[in-house]
Chain A
């Protein structure tokens, strides 16, 4: 799903590759025609880039205390670039056409936009206070930013680089996910133990769903009928029925579930569990943990997860590493040294 030299001030086309929904949305993108091509009017785009495809096969990791973004070759698991990236970069998303990476700069209330051809920050967009989670609409047109410090969500038009809406949600929204059909954004409100559901048509909160204590991550099941919520201070992942508007299952995970991410095939949700240092695969069919892998001793702190068809990537905040896990065997296949306190991770494959 390459869209060569998409021409846009901001990337236009493709799937949302968010902190939480990396490859599921890519799958959705594959079903969509390139309906919104646009001219690349960015001055930085030179003649070479006008004809070259955006790079693919990369993993992007934000290093929260180093203020950098690590770019990793997914084939070799080598860091190919380390890019200065704002203050306290946290959530990260790749545009569906791989041309841009969006980084939530938690410490400076901005989103940094990286051009993946040049590996340079080409724009910064003001967001709310303490932006953490970011996710793109399936077509890549809109970036949703959870501003934990200002209790709202910024909607950024990636074509213009402007904030088109600021939507009040619950207390301390730190993570969000877009449904595969792009109609809804689910926002985990850490401080109000619930989820806000934003209609992307109206950019308003249309529903509130229950969650456990301190929900800090959310993932949407393939059909959109349920969402998975990591309850950090509840040692569990909740399954919330979006139709019934209630929790339908609570899956014990161990202390400190911190992230949930859907697999591209929709069969599993991967959960990062801080306390035991585990990554658990939850079957979306049975809503039980099917397998668990340990990524390190206490203090390793598996933080955020991105999933591609061939790998599960986990940032280890306490170990300054990225763990690569085979999604089939759930065995660790590589450990990559990145920057200080890695936080978010996103993949373009």
Chain B
């Protein structure tokens, strides 16, 4: 999130086509500084190693590398196996403006992206050139590029379907430009975009390397618009990760291992109101939300729990008093009409009020990350949440967030950017490419 994380005026970073090199350097610096992990292993070239990653075999002689996540398939990777379970504790959401001048160049862009993503997610020998030439690979990951569970997830924004490429008639039925919700403070420079590339990996350097390679291979066809580099905190002590408010976040999700549930709630199905090419894709929402942690710190624990609707220490529903209660317990509000146990305008109760009227708009697949804005000059650290979710219908999210417009958490958060995107169907095999169905 370059414009966001810089002390310079927001929106100024990439205006007028910031050179790729400048972007890359900035990103790299952010990547090192912005993660809490970097602080715990400062100076260690294994930065980003997860305590539970279990990749100890190399010791200090070899950085961690998680197994490759399969690239080809009906659906894109990077969606159904959220961290910390997937160990992809590093994230980077990067939006781009497409500058391809025609449909053919756009097709070439997607082919290039496909080739890069296929290579980077599998890992392999870094390409080289004679020493007298600039090197094709930046060398950040050394001579052997590790897979490191890298996933590259590509989505398209509503603006790609304007008049430039003749795609207006093929726009996913519910894809729109994100409109501000009440209390949003969206910065246009931090919002929307023609493309969104979500990079998730086990280590920051893997994600940075992938981003730089993608940018290097696609210059002229797209340029970065905004990005958020972010992380998922390790479980403290167990279960779901905590956000900067100290609450466990993303507890409630459909079961990613259930094909039925994924088809019901996440994947666009064939023979629906969506265009045929969209089947197998999904709608993605990213929201860049600043957390006012200093203000939050002054709120008594009981009030914090009332605002969220969960116990802080355990992550369990309000009925559970035991600090060791599991966060897997379901909140129950059906016998609590006044909101005496779980406040009516608490975060989780508004997200899913458990009523028949809201049943169809209460299930999304969350995959959020957290960030710290880096290279700050003075002031309280700027901390935030890169909220990310996937759903078969974008309107599900919009309905849910509309319910949340007056939640008790409002004074402590400030949504600044993000956008709505349609994650393309998966690349089926080595002859397929991103958006082939859309473009042909």
Q: Which chain A residues have a beta carbon within 8 Å of chain B's beta carbons?
A: 64-67, 87-88, 90, 106-107, 129-130, 132, 148-149, 171-172, 174-175, 190-191, 214, 216, 232-235, 255-256, 258, 274-275, 297-299, 301, 317-318, 340-341, 343
Contacts and interface: CB of A to CB of B under 8 A. Distances in A.
B47 to A, nearest CB: 35
5 contacts: A65-B355, A191-B338, A255-B316, A255-B320, A317-B330
Nearest to A234: B321
A90 B337 CA distance: 13
B334 interface: yes
Give chain B's interface secondary structure class: loop
B356 A67 contact: yes
B335 interface: yes
**Most chain-B CB neighbours within 10 Å: which of A88, A174, A255, A299?**
A255
Q: Report which residue of B320, B336, B340 has the largest number of chain A beta carbons within 10 angstroms of its beta carbon.
A: B336
B356 A149 contact: no
A64 B340 contact: no
Query: How many of chain B's residues touch chain A, expressed as a range?
Result: 20 to 34
A64 B356 contact: yes
B325 interface: yes
B355 A275 contact: no
B335 A233 contact: no
Contact of B338 (A149, A255, A343): A149
Contacts of B336: 148, 172, 174, 190
B340 A191 contact: yes
A65 B354 contact: yes
A258 B332 contact: yes
- Sorted nearest first, the 4 A-B pairs with minimum C-beta distance are A130-B337, A298-B328, A149-B337, A148-B337
B318 A233 contact: yes
Mostly, the A contact residues are loop
Given A214-B340, A274-B319, A318 B359 contact: no
A278 to B, nearest CB: 13
A275 B319 contact: yes
A317 B335 CA distance: 12
Contacts of B356: 64-67, 87-88, 107
B335 A107 contact: no
B341 interface: yes
A129 B321 contact: no
B354 A298 contact: no
A53 B319 CA distance: 44
Contact of B359 (A171, A233, A234, A340): A340
Nearest to A297: B328
A87 B330 CA distance: 22
B359 A65 contact: yes
A273 to B, nearest CB: 10
Contacts of B338: 148-149, 171-172, 190-191
A256 B317 CA distance: 9
B357 interface: yes
Interface in B320-373: 320-322, 325-326, 328-330, 332, 334-338, 340-341, 354-357, 359
B320 A256 contact: yes
A283 B106 CA distance: 73
A286 to B, nearest CB: 25
A66 B354 CA distance: 11
Nearest to A64: B334
Given A88-B355, A107-B355, A191-B338, A318 B319 contact: no
Nearest to B321: A235
B248 to A, nearest CB: 14
A65 B363 CA distance: 13
Given A132-B335, A256-B317, A297-B328, A232 B341 contact: yes
B153 to A, nearest CB: 28
